[in-house]
Amino acid sequence: MSVKIAIDGPSGAGKSTIARSAASELGYLYADTGAIYRSVALYCLENSVDIKDSETVLAALEDIVPTLKYVNSEQRVFVNGEDVTDRIRTPQVSSAASCISAIPRVREFLFRLQRSIADENSVIMDGRDIGTVVLPDADLKIFLTASAEKRAKRRYIQLAESSNCPSYEKVLEDIRRRDENDSTRAVSPLRKAEDAVELDTTDMTLEESVKTVIRMVKAAVKGGEA
Ligand code: DC
């Protein structure tokens, strides 16, 4: 039987880095669902689809076939057969993804793809509504948090390596705006599932966070077998 682990939490809480490392250590697939929302957002930006107009976005969905492939356990995201993985991490795509993910039919459209990955593999899947909507039957649900300032600092350090790095204040403002968007939208807002365990990584190193998640997964899976 496949194991399903859900990790949700706000932007920049370290979900993807922690989930990827833990999955690799445990021999599970790591599924990054934010990348799927980002791929739809990228399509809209590159095809002049007005992301503020939900009807236009819904019409565009008819032309979008997102798929995922795993190459040496690394997730690659494709739109209409084209690998867009390396183009979905810009601030413009982040903000557009936050916008289109508030449209209920976009979420419905992407639900089946996410669910099928978990049905076919043992996975650690991260996102915003994995424990609440996509995998309500997960073996373990973790709600990963950290203070907005700490998350902004981590993201700023990541971005500092790029040529057009925004200021720390701008990064913090973006994080706060996305928190607000993601947690106040009407459909599948970011919230902790009732049966999720909260893990606050504000004062933890990445290594400590990964070790803690691995410990939690092993305990949950073992508990399930007993
Ligand atoms: O995790 P991320 O930053 O790559 O996600 C990009 C956007 O997609 C984020 O603003 C919220 C949205 N998202 C979502 O609504 N539900 C998910 N399961 C994953 C991401």
pLDDT single digits (tens) 20-29: 999 999 999 9
Residue nearest to atom 20 of ligand 1 (CA): 34
CA distances from 186 to 22, 38, 117, 172, 178 (A): 32, 19, 26, 24, 14
Task: Report the C-alpha gap between 7 and 152 in whole angstroms.
Answer: 20
Q: Per-domain residue ranges for the chain?
A: 4-220
For 183, phi then psi, to 5°, come to -95, -10
pTM of the model: 0.90
* Rounded to 5°, angle at Cα 27 from 150 and 126: 40
Residues with CB under 6 A from ligand 1: 11, 33-34, 37-38, 94, 97-98, 101, 127-130, 178, 182
Percent residues over pLDDT 70 in the chain: 99
Distance 82 CA to ligand 1 centre (A): 21
Fold of the domain built from segment(s) 4-220: Rossmann fold (3.40.50)
* pLDDT tens-digit series, residues 45-80: 999 999 999 999 999 999 999 999 998 888 999 999
State the Cα–Cα distance between residues 214 and 159, nearest whole angstrom. 27
| Dist. CA 2–CA 36, nearest whole Å | 22
Rounded mean pLDDT of the chain?
93
Q: Which of 43, 77, 106, 128 to mutate to test the pocket of ligand 1 (most atoms within 8 A of CB)?
A: 128
Residue 53 identity: D
Q: How far apart are CA 90 and CA 185, in angstroms?
A: 22
pLDDT tens digits, residue range 148-205? 999 999 989 988 887 778 899 999 999 999 899 888 888 888 889 999 999 999 999 9
Question: What are the phi and psi torsion angles at 83 (to 5°)?
Answer: -75, 115
